[in-house]
């Protein structure tokens, strides 16, 4: 039965077994993962020793435990946009899953959506968009930095999502997105989004759609909102979303010794039976991490009305 | 290209459509039915005139509850007064600044004056309006607009709008699941077209509908439901095309143990439905969780009334027909159960989403068994403590990595020239999430509970899922 239908891994489709050419995520331990390009004959070094792709990875089921050369073990995971976001090579500052999730819902992305994005950056958001709009949608992404544009296009190919995306090496503020009247949604993560608002409008369907701009500074938000209103966008709304991680711990709170009480004084055996030393209460609780990201950026959403 | 009519047909409101009414930040989901009175924000009206109009159109409610399409420009601010004060040092609250009385306003309303006109009158009759700062004037107009403008916008439903609507109107029905939390769930569970997703929810169908929207009709969703039947009111509100429902399956949670033990197979898989015995047992099984009080009471009535012979015959026939109908229904239900069981039996689901008022721990531990390794899952609970227990159980049990217990804070901003700041009130809590990824069950650790899981893991390896 095995091998009758060989589904190839991609970022938009699950497969069961690791194959040559896949991008797998190696789980090394708590919050420690790395992406691996699976290739016949290749080896990957980890702190637990080497992983030999041909014997240790190819043909293994995703989610299996893989024993490394030094006897340590890791798990091999199927790639998802979320795992990619925490393992991808940074070429720019990236968007993380908390913001991505909000953007995806508030832009109303779903299979079939046509989306414009700029800049492409390291492709963290792009992968999440592609996952959501597949198999019938399309992403038009513009990146003005030539090297970054080429690199991300290469990654899309490796991740087998290149049929869903067009990468353009152009400045969206000057040249727009390269498409007119096709987009259901536009996302902007650029230093001066207000300069791109009119291009966003041009790129969108005449029936309307949703737009989002991500900016770290409130002054940028202010100017973007003004530009959006000036271009006739409606339902302009700015939000900020913060992730709080709760670390689960077992804690033990000691109980103070109040000294022998009157009852114990009259009955000396009771006082002897309850030594005050181990008096504590153990419980499961959560503690916040010592430091958390307090700000990523403001998300400004708006609706383009029918024009 | 000149033929715009065809191009727009899918953007037009049709009779029978599920739509969302909007005024300000208030939403309400309704179905477009002719001659049906709708009450929204203390006003009643008919949606008849909305049919044929484009989605996202705004309407004015005129006398008789008739909707009249508004030109987009009509919604602009009514005032041209550029005169304004600089501070409030001379504004005294004597309660007499507004010269119009309550009765005057009522009279104006009865005369059928538009909301905008009433606001204009209020401004003209306010002795302090001109002394107010430009910003205070803005605020005044906004407040009055909210009160007197009787417009309504009709929107096409979406996960965004319905999630915001439920959170605003009936948070109790969706376990106080805030929309940004729902957004996290859909992303953390990697919901996308073509996968096989398990959903257990008691959120009126909102979570299920959101999952279905993200899957776009590709793949399959199995709703695991508690009690007599799946709750899907919220799913209806999405107004999905017919073919979306082909991917939706349902399975009663009360049969999970039987399915896992392999004892459900005979009932679910038996193709010879004619056999009376299997039919009976299927009937029993169906009736146990889902009591059908209407039908049952009807039947008892028929029997009690049947005094005359010919009448009795008639009733007998009717009863038979009804029984036949019931049989067909039950057969359909049995087939659906078998189909859902078949989907689950492979234990190769791609994702699991839980959001319910039940204790999440047993639900999670039970349903995780149906997932393939290396697949994401996400559990929502209104309470953190329940998820702490889940976390501890999962750690003891093994078979998962990347466990994270999180919640999100959502802060809205007012962005206006010189008046930008966070909105004064924010939501106190939108619930908590536990997310993670499944991995092949660990065989090296000698924990007793894990041993018991071993056969399942081995079976998983042997079963070819796609072949």
Q: Does B410 contact A at CB distance below 8 Å?
A: yes
Report DSSP state, residue A61: B
CA distance B461 to chain A (A): 8
- Out of A83-92, A96-105, A258-267, B154-163, which region has the weakest mean confidence (pLDDT)? A258-267
Asked if A239 and B411 come within 8 Å (Cβ–Cβ), the reply is yes
Q: Which of A101, A238, A244 comes nearest B187 by C-beta?
A: A101
Q: Which of A112, A238, A244 comes nearest B409 by C-beta?
A: A244
SS3 category, A275: coil
Nearest-Cα residue of chain A relative to residue B351: A14
* Chain B interface mutation, best of A4, A14, A30, highest count of B Cβ atoms under 10 Å: A14
Nearest-Cα residue of chain A relative to residue B187: A101
What six digits make up the tokens of B459? 């079976």
**Residue A79 neighbours by CB under 8 Å, 6+ apart:** A9, A11, A22, A23, A24, A25, A35, A159
Q: Does B190 contact A at CB distance below 8 Å?
A: yes
Q: What's the sign of the alpha-carbon dihedral A187, A189, A195, A196?
A: negative
Q: Are A184 and A263 in contact (CB under 8 A)?
A: no
Residue appearing with tokens 């420009």 = B73
Nearest-Cα residue of chain B relative to residue A240: B411
pLDDT for A195 beyond 50: yes
- Would you tell me which residues 36-55 of chain B have a C-beta closer than 8 angstroms to some C-beta of chain A? 54
Helix, strand, coil abundance in chain B, percent, nearest 5:
45, 20, 35
* Distances B150 to B24, B33, B43, B103, B155 between C-alpha atoms, Å: 11, 21, 8, 19, 16
The C-alpha atoms of residue A123 and residue A151 are separated, in whole angstroms, by 10
- Residue B80's pLDDT is what? 54
What is the pLDDT averaged over residues A14-20? 95
Q: What's the sign of the alpha-carbon dihedral A63, A68, A74, A76?
A: negative
SS3 category, A151: helix
- Out of A191-195, A256-260, B104-108, B189-193, which region has the weakest mean confidence (pLDDT)? B104-108
- Residue B72's pLDDT is what? 62
pLDDT for B310 beyond 70: yes
Q: Are B126 and B79 in contact (CB under 8 A)?
A: no
- Residue A198's pLDDT is what? 97
What six digits make up the tokens of A203? 């790129």
pLDDT digits (tens, 9 = 90+) for B212-249: 999 999 999 999 999 988 989 999 999 999 999 999 99
Q: pLDDT tier at B292 (50, 70, 90 boundaries)?
A: very low
* Distances A306 to A188, A303, B27 between C-alpha atoms, Å: 20, 9, 20
What six digits make up the tokens of B371? 């997932």
**Kind plus residue range of the DSSP H or E element containing B311:** helix B309-345
Q: Are A139 and A184 in contact (CB under 8 A)?
A: no
Mean pLDDT of chain B: 82
Percent of chain B with pLDDT over 70: 81
How many Cβ pairs within 8 Å bridge chains A and B?
A: 189
- Within 10 A of B114 (CB to CB), how many other CB atoms are there? 17
Give the residue among B222, B226, B212, B217 at the shortest CA–CA distance from B250: B222
pLDDT digits (tens, 9 = 90+) for B174-199: 999 999 999 999 999 999 999 999 99
Cβ-based contacts of A61 with chain B (< 8 Å)? 373-374, 440, 461
The C-alpha atoms of residue B2 and residue A8 are separated, in whole angstroms, by 44
pLDDT for A5 beyond 60: no
Helix, strand, coil abundance in chain A, percent, nearest 5:
30, 30, 40
pLDDT for A130 beyond 70: yes
DSSP string, A105-147: HHTT--TT-EEEEE--TTSHHHHHHHHHHTTT-EEEEE-S-HH
In chain A, where do the E strands start and end?
23-29, 32-37, 43-46, 49-52, 65-67, 73-77, 114-118, 138-142, 165-168, 185-188, 209-215, 234-254, 280-287, 298-304
Percent of chain A with pLDDT over 70: 93
The C-alpha atoms of residue B55 and residue B8 are separated, in whole angstroms, by 10
- Residue B458's pLDDT is what? 38
The C-alpha atoms of residue A140 and residue A64 are separated, in whole angstroms, by 36
Q: Does B404 contact A at CB distance below 8 Å?
A: yes
Mean pLDDT of chain A: 93
- Residue B121's pLDDT is what? 81
- Within 10 A of A211 (CB to CB), how many other CB atoms are there? 29
What is the pLDDT averaged over residues A30-57? 94
pLDDT digits (tens, 9 = 90+) for B14-50: 999 999 999 988 999 999 999 999 999 888 999 999 9
- Out of A14-18, A225-229, B426-430, which region has the weakest mean confidence (pLDDT)? B426-430
> Which span out of A266-270, B310-314, B369-373 was modeled with the highest average pLDDT?
B369-373
- Residue B446's pLDDT is what? 41
- Out of B111-115, B372-376, B450-454, which region has the weakest mean confidence (pLDDT)? B450-454
Cβ-based contacts of B160 with chain A (< 8 Å)? 105-106, 108
- Residue A30's pLDDT is what? 84
- Out of A13-22, B128-137, B292-301, B417-426, which region has the weakest mean confidence (pLDDT)? B292-301
**Kind plus residue range of the DSSP H or E element containing B17:** none
Angle (CA) B233 B237 B240, round 5°? 110
ipTM: 0.94
Asked if A246 and B407 come within 8 Å (Cβ–Cβ), the reply is yes
A154 vs A307: which has the higher pLDDT: A154
B3 vs A137: which has the higher pLDDT: A137
Cβ-based contacts of A76 with chain B (< 8 Å)? 374
- Residue A270's pLDDT is what? 57
What is the pLDDT averaged over residues A63-68? 95
Q: Which of A77, A221, A240 comes nearest B437 by C-beta?
A: A77
| Cα B458–chain centre separation | 38
Q: Are A189 and A95 in contact (CB under 8 A)?
A: yes
pLDDT digits (tens, 9 = 90+) for B445-465: 443 333 333 344 333 333 343
Burial call A92-124: b when 16+ CB within 10 Å, e when fewer: eebbebbbbbbbbbbbbbbbebbbbbbbbbbbb
What is the pLDDT averaged over residues B382-399? 97
Q: pLDDT tier at A17 (50, 70, 90 boundaries)?
A: very high
Q: Are A252 and A271 in contact (CB under 8 A)?
A: no
pLDDT for B426 beyond 60: yes
Q: Are A60 and A16 in contact (CB under 8 A)?
A: no
Asked if A300 and B415 come within 8 Å (Cβ–Cβ), the reply is yes
CA distance A280 to chain B (A): 21
Q: Does B301 contact A at CB distance below 8 Å?
A: no
**Residue A259 neighbours by CB under 8 Å, 6+ apart:** none
- Residue B82's pLDDT is what? 67
pLDDT for B77 beyond 70: no
- Would you tell me which residues 206-265 of chain B have a C-beta closer than 8 angstroms to some C-beta of chain A? 213-218
A248 vs B42: which has the higher pLDDT: A248
- Within 10 A of A37 (CB to CB), how many other CB atoms are there? 12
What is the pLDDT averaged over residues A96-101? 98
| Residues forming a β-bridge with B289 | none
């Amino acid at each position: 039965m095995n091998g009758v239908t060989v589904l190839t891994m991609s970022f938009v489709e699950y497969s069961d077994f690791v194959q040559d050419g896949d991008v797998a995520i190696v789980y090394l331990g708590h919050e420690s993962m790395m992406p691996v390009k699976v290739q016949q004959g290749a080896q990957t070094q980890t702190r637990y020793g080497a992983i030999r792709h041909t014997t240790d990875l190819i043909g293994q089921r995703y989610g299996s435990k893989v024993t490394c050369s030094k006897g340590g073990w890791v798990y091999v995971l199927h790639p998802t946009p979320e795992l990619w976001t925490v393992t991808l090579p940074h070429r720019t500052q990236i968007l993380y899953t908390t913001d991505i999730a909000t953007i995806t819902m508030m832009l109303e992305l779903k299979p079939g959506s046509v989306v414009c994005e700029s800049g492409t950056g390291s492709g963290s958001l792009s992968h999440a968009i592609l996952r959501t709009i597949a198999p019938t949608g399309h992403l038009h992404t513009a990146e003005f930095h030539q090297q970054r544009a080429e690199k991300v296009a290469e990654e899309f190919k490796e991740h087998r999502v290149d049929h869903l995306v067009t990468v353009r090496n152009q400045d969206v503020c000057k040249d727009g997105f390269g498409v007119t009247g096709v987009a259901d949604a536009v996302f902007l993560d650029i230093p001066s989004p207000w300069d791109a608002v009119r291009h966003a409008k041009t790129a969108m369907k005449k029936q309307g759609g949703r737009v989002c701009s991500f900016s770290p500074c409130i002054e940028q938000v202010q100017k973007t909102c003004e530009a959006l209103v000036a271009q006739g966008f409606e339902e302009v709304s700015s939000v900020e979303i913060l992730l709080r991680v709760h670390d689960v711990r077992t804690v033990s709170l000691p109980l103070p010794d109040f000294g022998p009480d009157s009852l114990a004084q009259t009955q000396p055996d009771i006082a002897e039976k309850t030594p005050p030393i181990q008096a504590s209460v153990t419980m499961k609780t959560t503690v916040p991490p010592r430091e958390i990201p307090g700000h990523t950026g403001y998300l400004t959403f708006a609706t383009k009305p029918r024009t | 290209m000149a033929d715009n009519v065809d191009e727009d047909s899918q953007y037009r409101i049709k009779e029978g459509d599920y739509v969302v009414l909007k005024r300000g930040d208030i939403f309400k989901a309704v179905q477009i039915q002719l001659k049906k009175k709708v009450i929204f924000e203390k006003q009643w009206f008919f949606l008849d005139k909305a049919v044929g109009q484009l989605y996202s159109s705004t309407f004015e409610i005129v006398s008789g509850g008739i909707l009249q399409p508004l030109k987009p420009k009509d919604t602009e601010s009514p005032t041209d007064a550029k005169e304004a004060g600089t501070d409030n040092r001379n504004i005294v609250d004597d309660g007499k600044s507004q010269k119009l009385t309550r009765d005057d306003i009522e009279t104006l309303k009865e005369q059928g004056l538009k909301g905008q006109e009433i606001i204009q009158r209020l401004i003209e009759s306010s002795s302090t309006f001109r002394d107010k700062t430009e910003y205070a004037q803005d605020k005044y107009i906004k407040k009055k607009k909210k009160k007197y403008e009787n417009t309504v916008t009709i929107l096409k439903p979406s996960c965004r709008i319905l999630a915001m609507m439920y959170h605003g109107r009936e948070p109790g029905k969706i376990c106080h699941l805030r929309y940004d939390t729902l957004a996290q769930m859909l992303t953390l569970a990697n919901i996308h077209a073509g996968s096989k997703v398990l959903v257990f929810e008691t959120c009126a169908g909102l979570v299920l509908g959101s999952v279905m929207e993200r899957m776009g009709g590709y793949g399959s969703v199995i709703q695991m439901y508690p009690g007599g039947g799946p709750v899907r009111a919220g799913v209806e509100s999405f107004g999905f095309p017919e073919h979306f429902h082909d991917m939706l399956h349902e399975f009663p949670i009360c049969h999970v143990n039987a399915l896992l033990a392999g004892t459900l197979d005979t009932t679910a898989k038996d193709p010879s439905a004619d056999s009376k015995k299997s039919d009976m047992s299927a009937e029993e099984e169906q009736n146990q969780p889902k009591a059908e009080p209407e039908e049952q009471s009807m039947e008892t009535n028929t029997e009690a009334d049947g005094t005359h012979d010919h009448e009795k015959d008639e009733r007998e026939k009717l009863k038979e027909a009804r029984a036949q109908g019931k049989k067909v229904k039950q057969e359909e239900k049995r087939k659906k159960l078998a189909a859902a069981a078949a989907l689950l039996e492979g234990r190769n689901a791609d994702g699991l989403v839980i959001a319910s008022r039940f204790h999440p721990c047993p639900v999670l531990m039970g349903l995780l068994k149906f997932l393939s390794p290396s697949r994401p899952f996400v559990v929502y609970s209104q309470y953190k403590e329940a998820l702490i227990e889940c976390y501890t159980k999962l750690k003891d049990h093994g078979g998962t990595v990347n466990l994270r217990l999180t919640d999100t804070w959502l802060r809205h901003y007012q962005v206006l020239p010189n008046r930008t700041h966070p909105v004064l009130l924010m939501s106190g809590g939108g619930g908590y999430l536990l997310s993670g990824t499944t991995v092949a069950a660990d065989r090296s650790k000698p924990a007793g509970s894990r041993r018991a899981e071993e056969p399942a893991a081995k079976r998983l390896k042997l079963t070819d899922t796609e072949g």
